[in-house]
Amino acid sequence: MSEQKLILVVDDDPDLVEAVSMKLEAKNYRVAKAYDGVEAMDRIKEEKPALVVLDVMMPRKNGWDVCEEIKNDAGLKDIAVVLLTAVADSVKTTSYTHHDGKTTLADDYIPKPIDLDELMEIVSDHCS
C-alpha cells in the first residue's frame, strides 16, 4: 500500500481548516494544521509535508511571505504550495486586480470561497 501523503492546511479560519482537513482525510491523506504563518513555517520545517494549502491573509506572517520562504529554501522548495486567494473571478463588480497565484512562486491557486472538490483535484494533481 502506498504511503499516505502529508498535507499541511494553513488558514486563520479554524472552521475552514477543519472542513478542508475532513475532506482530505476522507481522501486518505494525512493532515497537519496551522493557524498562522509563523506556525506554518514551524510545521513545514518539522514535518516536510508533500503539499501546503496556504491562505494569504493571516496574522503574524502572511501567505505570500510563507510561500516565498518555502520556495527560497533549498530544502523545502520541492513542497507544492496551493494558495487560497481572497476573491473569486466570478465576482460581478470589483475593484480587485487579481494577483495571479501563478506569477508568484506558488504552484497553484484556488479562489475563495473554495470549491472543496476542485481543491481535492488540485491536491491530487500535485501529489500524484
Partner 1 sequence: MVWIGQFSQNTHALFPVCQALSLQRINMVCAGLHRQKTHYYFSGCLESRYQEVAARLAADDSDISFPGFVTQVSVYPHRNRFQVPGILVEMLGSAGVPFHHLVSSPAVVSVIVDACFQDRMITLLENTFDLPCSHTPYIQEIDQDISALLKKYPETRSTYEEEKIKTYGIQVIQKKHLLYMHGGVDQLIQTMQTRMPPMTSEEIFHLVSVVQVSGPVYDACFVVEPDSIKDGDDVSVDLITFHGPHFGDRYRILQTALNCLDEDRIPFLVAACAGASISLVVPSGRGIAAQSALEKGFEAP
DSSP per residue over 38-86, as a string?
A: HHHHHHHHHH--SEEEEESS-SSS-HHHHHHHHHT-TTTTTSEEEEEES
- The residue range among 1-9, 16-24, 67-75, 120-128 that interacts with partner 1, by the rule CB under 8 A, is 16-24
Within 66-85, the residues that bind partner 1 by CB under 8 A are none
Q: Which of 1, 2, 24 is nearest to 10 (CA)?
A: 24
- Using rule CB under 8 A, residue 105 touches partner 1: no
Q: Which is nearer to partner 1, 38 or 76 (CB)?
A: 38
- Paired with 47 in beta bridges are none
Among 76, 88, 120, 127, the residue binding partner 1 under the rule CB under 8 A is 88
19 near partner 1, rule: CB under 8 A: yes
